[in-house]
Amino acid sequence: MLVLDDLDWSFASSTAPDIVARVSSMTPDVAGEPQVRKVWELLLQTDPRWGDFEEHDGWGIARKLTSTDTRRPLERVVVRPSATAIVGAAAKQARERLPRFGSTR
C-alpha cells in the first residue's frame, strides 16, 4: 500500500513561512501546481504494477498489485468524501427541509 497525503497541496497554498518566502521566486504555474497530485496521476496511475486507487479526504491510496490481480480501469478511481463533508451536507439538507420550531415567520 502507498498513501499520499495532501493530493492538492501546492507551494502557493502553503502557509509555512519558509515556503511562503520561496513562492515569490516561482512562476505562478509552478507555485500553483499540485505537486503530489502530479505524482499520483502521472507516475502511480500510469504504472500497471499499481491499482485499487482510492481518494479519501485529500489522501491518495494505492495498492501494489500481485501477478494474479486484475487492474481496474483508471476511470474507476474511487473518490470518497470526508466525514466532515458528509455531515456538513446532511446538516445543510436538514436546515433546508425542516421547519424551524418556534419561528414567527
Instruction: Report domain extents, the chain.
Output: 2-97
Percentage of the chain lying above the pLDDT 90 cut: 36
Where do we find the cell 455531515?
87
Residue 37: count other Cβ atoms within 10 Å of its Cβ.
Answer: 18
DSSP state of 71: P
Please report, rounded to a whole number, the percentage of residues in the chain having pLDDT higher than 70: 79
What is the reported pLDDT for 81?
Answer: 67
The amino acid sitting at 39 is V
Range list of H helices, the chain: 17-23, 28-32, 35-38, 83-97
Length of the chain: 105
* Confidence check: pLDDT of 102 > 50: no
Rounded to two decimals, what is the model's pTM? 0.62
Handedness of CA 58, 4, 78, 40 (dihedral sign): positive
Identify the top-confidence range among 32-36, 52-56, 73-77.
Answer: 32-36
